[in-house]
Amino acid sequence: MTEDLTPTPETTPETGALAPAGAVSSWLTENGFDHAILPADHLGVEMLQVEPDLLLPLATALYAYGFNYLQCQGAYDEGPGQNLVSFYHLTKVSDSADRPEEVRLKVSLPRDNPRLPSVYWIWKAADWQERECYDLFGIIYEGHPNLKRILMPEDWVGWPLRKDYISPDFYELQDAY
């Protein structure tokens, strides 16, 4: 008999082992927000897996809960043919706390159509960070006010930080002089 390892708020997708629910996960569960618990990182930061269509409601709830600072937003490629991941490192910044509370959200996206709602309207710090992830990984942040290339030339073909990206032999500079 095989064991069902479907991710739930109590299991991790990698191993199916029980991961303890942190304070943020408990609050989200109490308020009806669906997510999966991932093991905490090496510093003990709580990590949560979120479905793409639930990112915006969950992010809005976390902002209302006090996570008023988007410390970092980024992306990575899990490997050729695998998912792309967009992540959000959120912090509760307050004068009364010795150490700010932190949480990291991860959203897995299909490689062939990586679309996700922009969190720019919640945290303005997402502006250039989402543009960078679009430019280098090809993740489309729907609703972003100015989603265009930021590091690569506007006519560049492809997404250079994807693990299956093939570098062109040359890039012709036009009107360089």
* Confidence (pLDDT) at 174: 59
Half-sphere exposure of 1 (CA within 13 A, CB side): 2
Q: Count the helices and strands in the chain (H runs, E runs).
A: 3, 7
Segments making up each domain of the chain, as ranges:
23-142
pLDDT at 63 over 50: yes
pLDDT confidence bin for 9, thresholds 50/70/90: very low
pLDDT at 28 over 60: yes
3 touches 16 (CB < 8 A): yes
Residue whose C-alpha is closest to residue 105's, from 28, 163, 32, 6: 28
Which residues lie closer than 8 Å to 71 by C-beta, 6 or more apart? 89, 90, 91, 102
Give this prediction's pTM.
0.84
> How high does pLDDT run on average in the chain?
87
**Considering only 77-86, 145-154, 161-170, which range has the smallest mean pLDDT?**
161-170
* Confidence (pLDDT) at 4: 44
143 touches 117 (CB < 8 A): yes
* Confidence (pLDDT) at 177: 52
The mean pLDDT value for 128-141 works out to 97
pLDDT at 120 over 50: yes
Cα–Cα distance, 38 to 33 (Å, whole number): 15
Cα–Cα distance, 32 to 99 (Å, whole number): 27
- The fourth-level CATH superfamily of domain 23-142 is NADH:ubiquinone oxidoreductase Nqo5 subunit (3.30.460.80)
